[in-house]
Chain A
C-alpha cells in the first residue's frame, strides 16, 4: 500500500459496486474492502457514499438485499446483483471503456 489512496472517480462508484457484486453477493463493508483490495488501495470508498449508492441501486432494481448471517456469524445486509443489474453493468462497462479509450487517444495524441 505505497501508493496514496484517493476517493473513487466521480460517477464510477455505481459501476464498481455492480462489478464487485457480479463476482459474488456480499455486504456493504465487503464491497468497500474488495474495491480497495482489487484497486490495490488506489480507491478508498467513503462508507456514507457507499451505503447511499447501495440504497439507490436497490431502489433502481439493480440489486436485491437481504439480512443474513455471515461466516463470522454476524448479521449483515447481503446485496446480490439482479438480472437488470447485470445488464446495467454491461452497459456501463461498455460505456466506460469507450470513454477511457477516447481519453487515452487524446492523451497520446502528439504535435
Chain B
C-alpha cells in the first residue's frame, strides 16, 4: 500500500487544515444536494426533498466530524491543540513559568556543561582509526621503587622484533628545535619518532610521504614532516614545500610530508615531526629515553599484551649488553614489569574521578532545581484542585487530565532544557576562553549530538517526573473529597503539606551534601596554599628557555661561558635582583636516575634508589628562594673547573645520613664508572611533582662536569633562566630580556617565557578547578534550598490567613504567630540537615582522592555547614513568616 500517499495527504491536511475541512464540508454538502435532487426527481417538492435528505443524513456536523477524524494527522493535530492550550495556560501565569523555567535551565545547563566536558574528555574516542587498539608501553620497576617507567630503546627493538600481539610498535619523545632560515629564529615544538609511529596511530601525511625504516638510520639524510598549521603559517600552504630544506638546530632537514589539519597527539603542540635516528648497534640495555606506543592486533586484550611483554622483557638482556658502570645483574634487580595502558587513559589521566564527581555534583543541583519546580507545580495544581475535581465530576477522564498536567510540565521541561543548552554553550565558551591548560583534550569539548541527546533526555525525564507528582496527587478520582474541602476551609489539612515539606527536606539535605563537599575543598585548598613548595614569592620569578646548539658553539665550556654571559646581561637589566640557570625549573621535573653513595656499599650489587637530577648554576637557590639547610652553594670556578661537587635535598640527606649536616663531605655518583662527587650543601625539599605530592629526593649537579654518566664531558645546552624581579610578567621586561639575549647572540630564540607563579598555579589548578565548580554548585544548591523553604513557609502563611486572623483576634501576640512559622521552617531545615549530614558522610568518601590534609568526615566542616544552613533557613523562614504580621484580623476573617 502506498505509505507515501498516506504521508503526503496527511501532511497536506495537517499544514492546510482549513482547506481539508472545506473539502469535507463541500463533499457533505454535495451529498445532501444530490440526495435532495434524487428525492425531488421521485416527485417530492423541493422543500420536502431537502428536508427528507437532511433527515436521512441525520446531522451534517456529525458526518463532517466522523469523516474528519480519519487519518493519522488527527492525533498530532489534537496533541498540538492541547500543547497550545498548555502554552497559553503557562504564559498566563508568567511569574510561575519564568521561575520554574529559569530554575530548570540552571540545573540542566550545569549538567549539560559538565556532561559535554565528560563526553569530550572521557567518552569520545581519540581521533585515530580503531583508537581502542592503541596502547602506551609503560612499565613498572618495583625493584627500584618506580611505579611508572617509560620505554628503553633496547626494549623498543626487542618488542618490534619479538612481539606476537602488536601490529606496529613506535617510540617517541617530545622535543623543541630552533628553526633558522624560515623568518625569525624560533623555538618550535615537535615530536621525535621512529618510523612506524604514524602507522601505530593510523594517520599518514596528506601531502608527501611518511617515514620509512631508512629515515631512522643516522647515516641517511635528515627528514622532517610539517604540521598543517606550521605549513600554512610558515609556507603559506605552498605544495612545492616538499624537498625544501629547513635548518633545525643548525642541521638541514628535507621536508618530506605535511600532516592533515586534524592531526593531533597527546594535547602537545606539534609543528614538526622528525625521525628518531638511532643505531641499533650503539644501544645498551638500560636506555630508557622515550615513550612507547603500539597498536594491538585485532582481538588482543591488554592482559594478553601485558603477558607477551612480560615474556619479551626476559629476552632483552640476551639481545643488548648491559651499560658500562652497571653490574651485570642490574636488569634482574629492577624487577621491571609491563604496565600497558590504553593511550586514551594515559592522556586523560586521573581527571576522570574529578569529572564524575562534578557530574554527581551538578546532578544534585539538578535534583534540587527539580524539587523546587515540583513544589511550584504542586502549589499550582493545588490552586486548581476544585477546577480539576469539577472537570472529573463532569466526566473528564483520568487520562485526559493527566495528559494536560503532563504536557504542561513537559513544556516547562523542554523550555528549561532549551535555555539550559544555551547556558551550557555560554559556560563552555567561558571554559575555553579561560584556557584551562590542565584539562586534557580541552579543545575536543563541544556540544555534539551525544550532548544534545543527553540534554533532551534529562529535560524529558525532568518534565515527566515533575508532571507525575501532581498527576498522582490530583488527577486521581477523589472528587467528593476535593469538592467538599474547597471554599471556606478552616485551615489546611496536614496531608496537603506533606509532599511539599518532603521536597524541602530533600532540598536542604542535598544542599548540605554539596556545601560539605565545597567546605572540604576549601580546607584542602587552604592546606595546599600553606605548604612551602621549596621556592618563595613565585610571582616575582620570571623564567625563559633557550638552548645553544652545538652547530653554533661547539666547545662545551664555551657554551656555558655564553650562558653565563647572557646571565650577566640579564642581571644588569633594571629591577633584576638576581639571575640563575637550571636544566629544569621547579615543578618541571628532571631526569630520574639512581645515585650511589660511597658509604652505602650494599647498593653496589643492586640498583640504589632513583633520584631526580637537576643541573644548576651558582646562585640558583638564592634566586628561587630555596633555603640552604647546611653547607654552601656552588661557585662559577667549580663549574668551569669541573670540580666533582653536588648538592642534595634535605629528605635525601636525612634518608642516607640521618642529619643534613652529616651529608657535607659525603661522596655520591650516578654510576659505578663515574668519579665520586662531594656533597657540599643540603637544600630544603622541593615539591617538584606538585604541591600535593611528596617531595622527591633531588640531586643538584653543576652545569658542566667531567666523567659523568659515562661521558667524558657532560654539558647542559638547553637551559632555563630564572630571574627575580618585581617586573616579572610584564611585556617591557620581555623586550629587555630579548635585547639582552640578542646582544650576546642574535640567533638564539627565547621560548616559553612565563612566571614561576603560573607553574605553581598549574599544580594547584585541578584543586582550584574542583573548588570553584563545587562552590558554584554549593552556592546554587543553598540558594535554591532557601528559596524552597521561603516558598513553603510563605505559601503556608497565605493558606492559613484565617487561622492567623482568629489567633490574633483572640489576642495571640504577634511574636507567637511568627514564631510558629519560623519554628516550622527550622524543623524542616533541621530534619534536612540531619539527613544531609548522613548523606555527606557517605558521599564525601568518594572525594578522598581530591582532598589533601583533611578527612572526608572532618567534624569542623560538618558543624560549620550545619550551623550556617540552619541560620540561613531560619532567616528565610523569618522573612516569609513576617508576612503573617501584616495580616489584619478583620480582613482575614472576612476573606474567602
Residue B71 at the A interface, CB < 8 A?
yes
**Residue pair A28, B27 in contact (C-beta under 8 Å):** yes
Question: Which of B1, B6, B67, B69 is the most central at the interface, judged by chain A CB atoms within 10 Å of its CB?
Answer: B67
Q: Does A8 contact B (CB under 8 A)?
A: no
Q: Hey, which chain A residues are within 8 Å of B30, CB to CB?
A: 27-29, 74-77
CB distance B2 to A60 under 8 Å?
yes
**Given A47-B56, A59-B5; A52-B38 close (CB under 8 Å):** no
For the complex formed, measure the closest distance between the CB of B434 and the CB atoms of chain A, giving whole angstroms: 58
Interface residues of B in 372-408 (CB under 8 A from A): none
A28 with B66: CB separation less than 8 A: no
Secondary structure call for the B interface: helix
What class of interface size applies to chain B in its complex with A?
20 to 34
Scan residues 76-90 of chain A and give those whose CB is less than 8 A from a CB of chain B: 76-77, 84
The reply to whether A76 and B57 form a contact with Cβ atoms under 8 Å apart is no
CB closest chain-B residue, reference A44: B56
Contact A61 B2, beta carbon cutoff 8 Å: yes
Contact B63 A29 (CB under 8 A): no
A33 touches B1 (CB 8 A): no
Given A59-B71, A61-B1, A61-B5, A48 contacting B34 (CB threshold 8 A): no
Contacts of B9 in A (CB 8 A): 58-59
Cβ–Cβ contact B37 & A48, under 8 A:
no
**Does residue A72 face the partner (Cβ distance < 8 Å to B)?**
yes
- A residues 46-80 touching B (CB-CB < 8 Å): 47-49, 51-52, 55-56, 58-61, 67, 70, 72, 74-77
**Cα distance, A57 to B33, chains bound together (Å):** 23
Which of B5, B33, B67, B69 interacts with A74 by CB under 8 Å?
A: B33
Min CB distance A25 to B, Å, is 14
Contact A48 B63 (CB under 8 A): yes
Residue B62 lies at the interface, judged by CB distance under 8 Å to chain A: yes
Which parts of B4-51 form the interface with A (CB within 8 Å)?
Answer: 5-6, 9-10, 24, 26-28, 30-31, 33-35, 37-38
User: Could you tell me if A51 and B37 are in contact, using CB atoms closer than 8 angstroms?
Assistant: no
Q: Does residue B472 face the partner (Cβ distance < 8 Å to A)? A: no
Q: A48-B62, A60-B2, A77-B27 are contacts. A30–B34 as well, Cβ < 8 Å? A: yes
CA distance A49 to B56 in the complex (A): 13
Please state if A27 and B63 are interface contacts (CB–CB under 8 Å). Answer: no
Contact B1 A48 (CB under 8 A): no
Contacts of B34 in A (CB 8 A): 27-30, 70, 72, 74, 76
Nearest CB of chain A from residue B845's CB, rounded to whole Å = 63
* Cβ contacts under 8 Å, A58 to chain B: 9
**Which chain B residues lie closer than 8 Å to A84 at the CB level?**
2
- Please state if B35 and A48 are interface contacts (CB–CB under 8 Å): no
> In the assembled complex, how far is the CB of residue A14 from the closest CB belonging to chain B, in whole angstroms?
13
A59-B71, A60-B1, A72-B37 known; A51+B31 contact, CB < 8 A: yes
A60 to chain B: closest CB distance in Å?
A: 6
Nearest B residue (CB) for A61: B2
Among B38, B63, B66, B70, the residue within 8 A (CB) of A33 is B38
- Chain A, residue nearest B65 (CB): A48
Residues of B within 8 A of A70 (CB): 34
Contacts of A74 in B (CB 8 A): 30, 33-34, 37
A29–B29 CA distance with the chains assembled, in angstroms: 11
Nearest chain A CB to B7's CB is how many angstroms away?
A: 10
Give A33 to B36 CA distance when docked, in angstroms.
12
Interchain nearest-CB distance for A48 vs B (Å): 4
Which chain A residues border B62 with CB–CB below 8 Å?
A: 48
| Contacts beyond the supplied A29-B30, A48-B67: 18 A-B pairs with Cβ under 8 Å | A27-B30, A29-B38, A30-B34, A47-B28, A47-B31, A47-B56, A47-B57, A52-B67, A52-B69, A56-B70, A59-B5, A59-B9, A59-B70, A60-B6, A72-B34, A74-B33, A74-B34, A84-B2
A-B contact pairs, 5 of them (CB 8 A): A30-B34, A48-B62, A52-B70, A60-B6, A72-B37
